[in-house]
Amino acid sequence: MFTEKIDIVMFNMSCYTEWQAGISNRNFHILHTLLKDDRVRKIVMVDYLPFTWKRAMRQWWQNRMHGVQGKVISQGITHKLVAVRESEIERTGYKLEGVDPSAIPFKLFNYSDIGSVWSEQSVYQRLKHDLKRLDLKNIVLWSYTPTFVGYLGKFNEKLSVFDAVDNWLEHSSYTKIKDRLKLNYQTMRYKADLIFTTSPDLVKFFDRSDYCTFVPNGISLEHIANTPKLVGRDIASLPRPIIGYVGTLQEDRIDVDLLQYLAKLNPTKSFVLIGPVWPGIKFAVDQKLRSLPNVHLLGRIPFNEVLAYIREFNVSIIPNLHNEFNRHTNSMKLYEYLAMGKPVVVTPSVGLEDFGKIIHTADTPEKFNKELLKALTENSETDIAKRQSFMEQHTWDKRVKLMLDQIFSKLS
């Protein structure tokens, strides 16, 4: 059995400054949970590698003006390597329970480089040079981005891991690079030593069941326990009951027509939508939802506050479209809704089998409204405790332990 500690070089699907601005995703939770595991010695997180000039310039400006603070180990015109301070992690709202704060600057490192927009290989050369300063051992390369795959084999890694979050081939934002993504997914299929996915359908997509595993999302019980109470916020004065949704309003994901149907059918109920509205769906949202007096779009709420808003919901909903994109997703908000004890109504999706009768599922607008009315009656203390108890088996700690166990088994 492999018993030494590992060092992780992680290619992120986000920039750390975006997490500090309140965004959270699977990558965010798993990285910070890995920090708590004694089997991990160091983590070098590589900010999202841009492939467009617009994104590159935005990242460059963010890092220059509001970049991650800490001990600067290496810096150039396009890149920067920093040993991250504990206070920088606190800016994301994430609490590292049980971790010695003095150890963080020597365990977590942030590398940012916009050079990928014109030369992918130059980024890997600079990063490889800078990693020598950190004396990494037993490197595990861990990736969240299929837009680049040239990093595989570049860092003398003992093992490569790809955590497939959704299927980017079905994402409208990546239509222009679909051929590139197809090729990169095939490269990952054959070159990655382990693949984790957010849905059972993605396991079928990679078609290599011997080392491809469905690992659902999870929750942080510590974060749930530390959720503050809202005082005088926008949601507090709204008429009850409150039907709430948290997540990106995106054309691939959300069913605007279903939301309009529910809001019109229930004019005395408040429908609260928390999350950014993407450009591709803005017209539909403006035309069908903003004009309704009982629909309230609150925009993005930071990660460290969003659970406090969920606490105000009487029923939580996930009104997703029935499409190929959503077949490969696994809603993190479902876990957070239930961990806060809230009744949940969802449209059908792959990967919900484990939740059984703990949630309400509806495949038509009429059924969705019927289940919504039923869910409104399920807010007793017993109902709440049942849902919260159920979620104790769905923590990020358990998810990351499963991943690391597979990694160490493979290393053996």
Residues 229 and 161 in one domain: no
Percentage of the chain lying above the pLDDT 90 cut: 77
Rounded CA-CA distance 200/352 in Å is 10
Residues 13 and 143 in one domain: yes
The verdict on residue 273 lying in a domain is yes
The verdict on residue 91 lying in a domain is yes
CATH number of the domain that 323 lies in? 3.40.50.2000
The verdict on residue 20 lying in a domain is yes
The verdict on residue 302 lying in a domain is yes
User: Quick one: CA dihedral 288, 292, 294, 298, positive or negative?
Assistant: positive
How many other C-beta atoms are found inside a 10 Å radius of the C-beta of residue 206? Answer: 19
pLDDT digits (tens, 9 = 90+) for 212-248: 999 999 999 888 877 777 766 788 889 999 999 999 9
In which domain, by residue range, is 357 found? 221-393
Cβ(274)–Cβ(254) below 8 Å = no
pLDDT for the residue 331: 87
Number of independent structural domains in the chain:
2
pTM: 0.93
Residues 170 and 280 in one domain: no
Residues 182 and 193 in one domain: yes
Residues 132 and 265 in one domain: no
The verdict on residue 244 lying in a domain is yes
pLDDT digits (tens, 9 = 90+) for 164-213: 999 999 988 899 999 999 999 999 999 999 999 999 999 999 998 789 99
The verdict on residue 1 lying in a domain is no
pLDDT digits (tens, 9 = 90+) for 400-411: 999 999 999 999
Residues 269 and 321 in one domain: yes
Residues 307 and 235 in one domain: yes
Residues 140 and 229 in one domain: no
pLDDT for the residue 356: 81
In three state form, how does the secondary structure of the chain look? CCCCCEEEEEECCCCHHHHHCCCCCHHHHHHHHHHCCCCEEEEEEECCCCCCHHHHHHHHHHHHHHCCCEEEEEECCCEEEEEECHHHHHCCCCCCCCCCHHHHHHCEEEEEECHHHCCHHHHHHHHHHHHHHHCCCCEEEEECCCCCCCCCCCCCCCEEEEEECCCHHHCHHHHHHHHHHHHHHHHHHHHCCEEEECCHHHHHHHCCCCCEEECCCCECHHHHHCCCCCCCCHHHHCCCCEEEEECCECCCCECHHHHHHHHHHCCCCEEEEECCECHHHHHHHHHHCCCCCCEEEEECCCHHHHHHHHCCCCEEEECECCCHHHHCCCCHHHHHHHHCCCCEEECCCCCCHHHHHHCEECCCHHHHHHHHHHHCCCCCHHHHHHHHHHHHHCEHHHHHHHHHHHHHHHHC
The pLDDT mean for the chain works out to 92
Residues 196 and 244 in one domain: no
What mean pLDDT comes out for the span 284-293?
A: 95
Residues 260 and 146 in one domain: no
Residues 192 and 254 in one domain: no
Residues 306 and 191 in one domain: no
Please indicate whether residue 71 or residue 324 has the higher confidence score (pLDDT): 71
